[in-house]
Amino acid sequence: MLTARSFNSTLDRMLTLNQAIDEALASSWNGDGSRGGRLWIPALDVIERQDTYLLAFEVPGVTREAIDISFKENVLTVRGVKPLSFDLDKDADVRVHMAERVSGEFERSVRLPDHVDSEHITAEVRDGVLLLTVPKAQAAQPRKIQIKGVEQKRVEG
């Protein structure tokens, strides 16, 4: 069941900040060809379950060998390179009629809350989507606490 969450949670605030930083960086690049052309920031979905965070990055046309994933100080970073669709000889006379598909290097970082199990993060690429599963540490998972005590006998009178 998919539920909408308010922006009061720590994760929501961190993702909003990450998105603002990504947009600011994208608008500040002048497209002069540095870092392989226009900045490309993969779209991202983050879902929280009771025991894990699920992240899905759109990376169409990117092979798993071209992706690097790191986790340091609760920041998960995905870097990679999306190749050009065509093999172009640098000396060839080429006229571009339309160029809407971005290529080149990309990077996207997400700060995750404390208490994640970084040793068991898994990743796979499926149908142009990079899927990451980030388990929560046992200490961060909700659990039911049993109340212990002595049963009292009822006195009938």
* Structural domains in the chain plus CATH codes: 10-86+98-139 (2.60.40.790)
In Å, how far are 3, 31, 37, 51, 56 from 48, measured between CA atoms? 10, 35, 34, 8, 12
Alpha-carbon span 143 to 96, nearest angstrom: 59
Contact between 54 and 11 under an 8 Å Cβ cutoff? The reply is no
pTM over 0.95, yes/no = no
| 60-71 residue pLDDT tens | 999 999 999 999
| 29-49 residue pLDDT tens | 444 444 445 578 899 999 999
pLDDT confidence bin for 121, thresholds 50/70/90: very high
Alpha-carbon span 67 to 144, nearest angstrom: 40
